[in-house]
Copies of this chain bind each other. A is one copy, B any other.
Amino acid sequence: MADTDIPDSDATVGQRERNKAEKRHRIEEAALALFREKGYDGTTTREIARRAGVALGTLFTYASDKRDLLFLVYNDRQDALRRDAFGSIPEDAPFADQIVALFGPFYTHFAKEPGFTRDLLRELTFYTDGVQAPRFQEGRLSIVARIRELVEDAVADGRLSTPEDPRLIAEMIFGLYQSELRRWLAGDKPSKPGGLAALRRVLDILIAGLGPRDAD
């Protein structure tokens, strides 16, 4: 009966935590499948509970509310996308190329599920209350932080030459990315190349400036 004391590979933690992890996983799977099939608004919490094989109330021990359920699902994907994104940045390439490469995996993924992404973009606005919110917001911050590093590197080796705060530049670029993303998703059938081309266009303008060149 020492089996609760044997730390085998699957159970360094207790039964309770293993049950929770499994249940959380079932809920994530069910919610993801349904959000994909029927959209966020078209999915009911009862359906999610039924498909996950748990009681209705159980959902709300894993997420604060329905919106939080959306991020319970998305947070895992955001982590994966971010790893992917950070991995695809070419070194010593032009700055705009680096930014476009960074956002490439996001566009690839979002193009597959424009409906889901639209729901996400609506729900993430001033999303701070849910249990899943901190993890989501940290993810975004780490993307902005990475952009800031890219700016700093580019300024250091002369690919950029702005005297402005790299953090501010990074926030501007992230803001432009978001507004381009919204415009892209407002269209009928958003294609990855089209979206990235539009993003590159605004980045080029940001880098070139609106002139006149020596107006100070």
Contacts and interface: CB of A to CB of B under 8 A. Distances in A.
B178 A179 contact: yes
Nearest to A171: B183
Contact residues of A: prevailing secondary structure: helix
A173 to B, nearest CB: 9
A129 to B, nearest CB: 11
B160 A210 contact: yes
Contact of A161 (B118, B175, B182, B212): B212
B212 A182 contact: no
Contacts of A159: 212
A118 B126 contact: yes
Interface in A141-177: 158-162, 164, 168-169, 171-172, 174-176
A162 B126 contact: no
Interface in A164-216: 164, 168-169, 171-172, 174-176, 178-180, 182-183, 185-186, 201-202, 205-213
A160 B162 CA distance: 19
Interface size of A as a range: 35 or more
A179 B168 contact: no
A121 B174 CA distance: 18
Nearest to A201: B168
A122 interface: yes
A9 interface: no
Contacts of A207: 209-211
A19 interface: no
Interface of A: 95, 118, 121-123, 125-126, 158-162, 164, 168-169, 171-172, 174-176, 178-180, 182-183, 185-186, 201-202, 205-213
23 contacts: A95-B210, A118-B125, A118-B126, A122-B122, A122-B123, A125-B125, A125-B182, A126-B185, A158-B212, A161-B212, A162-B210, A164-B210, A169-B205, A172-B176, A172-B179, A172-B205, A175-B175, A175-B176, A175-B179, A175-B183, A176-B179, A206-B209, A207-B211
